Chains A and B, each alone.
Chain A
Amino acid sequence: MTGKLNLDPALVARARELARLAGQPVTDLARTHTTVSVERAVLRLAGLDGADGDGMPWVNRLTDAVRESVGLEHGVALPVWDAMLTGGYPDLRTLAVDAASGLVKFRLPMAADADAARESAARSVRRGIRMIDQRRAERDSMVAATSDPPVPWIYLIVATGDIYEDIPQAQAAAREGADVIAVIRSTGQSLLDYVPEGATREGYAGTYTTQENFRLMRGALDDVSRELGRYVRLTNYASGLCMPEIAALAGLERLDMMLNDCMYGIIFRDINPVRTFIDQRFSRQVHARAGIVINTGEDNYLTTADAVDAAHTVVVSQLLNEYFGREAGLTDAQLGLGHAFEINPEVPDSFLLELAHAQLIRELFPDAPLKYMPPTKHMTGNVFAGYLLDAFFNLAGVMTGQSILLIGMMTEGIHTPFLSDRDLALENVRYVRRAAGRLGESFRPEPDGFVADRARQVLGEAIGLLRTIGSQGLLNAIAEGTFGVTKRPADGGRGLDGVVKQADGYCNPAVEILEPGS
């Protein structure tokens, strides 16, 4: 594919190299540390589910019990499976119940005992990984049996708080043309240090992410996929304090895409940076195995910062997300890098600027299924003007070959979308696709015109910022408020107490399977 913007390939390669240099120290940090959520994800992959009478998951109870008695420096696997073997426990649940009552004396097994525990843990975790592999194969056969919709995929959000209301709404949206259904999470779930259990009917501005809710919705979308002869994908959110566990559950229940940004939790949810980087690496290793497409959250930067001034921070974040994603084993086809149409419509040439940004990102990441987000910041309540702005967003999306279009609602910011808002939004995008779906092939910006110049300018600014980040260190850059205008120091935010430095002999059977090259 030849570019339309005359980007200098050497400059593009330089940008990637700078992103690698900036990200490498953080990767080293993630390789040498673990978190409570990584350890709980190991237990989930080994089949431990359910919760105690207070709704606290058994994976939390067991991990906490291990941490209290022997610490997590060596991981949960050795002490847990040692206790299974020496205590003659039939399953993890029984052990967790006893451990929660203080009836289990954990130890760090040595020599032959350690080998036995390690082998037993690996066997259990391998069953979970095999289940994820089966789910991935199941997706392939579902797509083959139905069909894979052409890009851009139409991405619609459902968010009632009640999974049993979400299901008919999601099915209705699929029938109206949605290719991807995202179930927005309950506000604040990202700051829960556990994953709730079971089917849930109450949420705030969204529906809780639980394994059972995943299963129910995927089943309902399978039904509607067969009905329509088109595979309808399901998306949820991994970001937050439980990224690793939610990634595991997504793999086990055949989610198709997951919001998973390397920095979103830090910037927008004030989660500790170190915790986030460790968790995102493990979660992406699981996504890579599950064939899940991640969606990154760069659109968010433009909701707090100005979309013109901060355009290059989006590119920088995408390059970092690409580096971290590839490092964790994701293919380019799994990198749903995000960006957004958020320039103030009062700015002269705003549409040309949007085209420049969107085309730049398309050319920087030619094989990534880019996710393009609609205007939100400048939706004023004038629903008629908003409908027009959404049409221009859809047009920019088809002209620049975006892969996933999140469908804009003209009532953005007024209320959760009415049924009719969604219907009108789909009518909008269907019209634009029908009328101008092939406009991209005839869109040739002048090599030295406004659009190409602007794209090169943004790339240049991105390289400048990557140099600064490289010289001061990514964690310091985040602390200084480089992204999204918010300052997030490495020792601040939530979840730092769940970070543990690995000791020699740390054992994590999931990482041993998932680590690239293993």
Chain B
Amino acid sequence: MSMTGTQGAQGFVRPYGDTTGDGRVQVSFTLPVPFGDEAERARAEGAALQLAGKMGLDPAMVVHAKGMGPDFTFFIVYGRVSHLVDLDAVTVAEREFPVLPAAEVNLRIRSALGRKLVVVGACIGTDAHTVGIDAILNVKGHAGEKGLEYYREIRVVNMGAQVAVDDLVARAAAENADAVLVSQVVTQRDAHLSNTRELSAAFRSAFGPQRPLLVVGGPRFDPGAAHDLGVDKIFGRGTTPGEVASYLAHALAAEKGAT
């Protein structure tokens, strides 16, 4: 996968407020300082300006400060950043596959595999949030796109929430799964990362190199971390069923002659 996409040398830019190069931005934050009497208010605003300055906003202006209870103050700050954005140094993860219409996905699977592509999906660990996996798998789908159940050439087994990794491995074997889709919403103490590592290790030890394609999704994943976590693909926030289906077709049912 190519990690550096260059869009031609474009040089340096600054944030745009209402004039090219003015560098104006807005930030909001809370500080654990009181906002009671006049002295406290002055001190709170000074604290906000100090933070803004350290963030690179110069000059900065506190346009709103409000006490929240006895111990906290909320600020909205506008300011000018001195930083430059070097467009030539921007790196983006490029999508390595084209998004295809459902009919095209079905056609590719049929001609490359000659059978249905089998997908087993689950939420693993303590995660009971099936909304993500259901949005991708259910016929109903998500964001106006039908889910994988809608694809004639994909057979979906949705194991639901809080599935033990061992059960998922066993089911994937029993169903001859081509791909395993796992959704992880809960991220406290990086549960999504440790669960994903556990998943990839379990499939590696059960299947060896012939393991099913491992696809993980969730709002807080870094899509670039697939290799580190031992899976084939990570989908982030806002992924649609069509993107997932297209990826599966790309990875498992490549056109003849395609690399």
* Chain A residues near B (Cβ < 8 Å): 161, 172, 175-176, 186-188, 190-191, 203-205, 268-270, 303-306, 381, 413, 418-420, 423-424, 485-486
Contacts and interface: CB of A to CB of B under 8 A. Distances in A.
Interface stretch (B95-103, B124-132, B247-255): B124-132
Given A187-B129, A423-B66, 18 more contacts: A172-B68, A176-B68, A187-B127, A188-B126, A204-B186, A204-B191, A205-B186, A270-B160, A304-B131, A306-B140, A381-B237, A418-B30, A419-B72, A419-B74, A420-B30, A423-B68, A423-B74, A424-B74
Interface string B208-227: 00000000000100000000
A188 B127 contact: yes
User: Can you list the 6 inter-chain pairs with the closest CB atoms, starting with the nearest?
Assistant: A188-B126, A420-B74, A270-B160, A485-B140, A423-B68, A420-B30
B219 A187 contact: no
Chain B's interface size range is 20 to 34
B239 interface: no
Query: Which of B127, B128, B162 is packed against the most chain A CB atoms within 10 Å?
Result: B128
B134 A304 contact: yes
7 contacts: A176-B68, A188-B127, A205-B188, A268-B130, A270-B130, A306-B140, A423-B74
B28 interface: yes
Contact of B188 (A161, A303, A419, A424): A161
Contacts of A304: 131, 134-135, 138, 140
Interface of B: 28-30, 66, 68-69, 72, 74, 126-131, 134-135, 138-140, 160-162, 186, 188, 191, 219, 237
A190 B74 contact: no
A413 B135 CA distance: 15
Given A172-B69, A486-B134, A188 B162 contact: yes
A420 B75 CA distance: 9
A9 B243 CA distance: 48
A191 B161 contact: yes
Given A188-B162, A304-B140, A485-B140, A175 B129 contact: no
Nearest to A488: B160
Nearest to A493: B160
A161 to B, nearest CB: 7
Contact of A187 (B29, B66, B126, B139): B126
Contacts of B130: 268, 270
B50 to A, nearest CB: 19
Contacts of B138: 304, 485-486
Contacts of A190: 128
Contacts of B74: 419-420, 423-424
A175 B69 contact: yes
Nearest to A418: B30
Contacts of A306: 140
B32 to A, nearest CB: 9
A306 B142 CA distance: 9
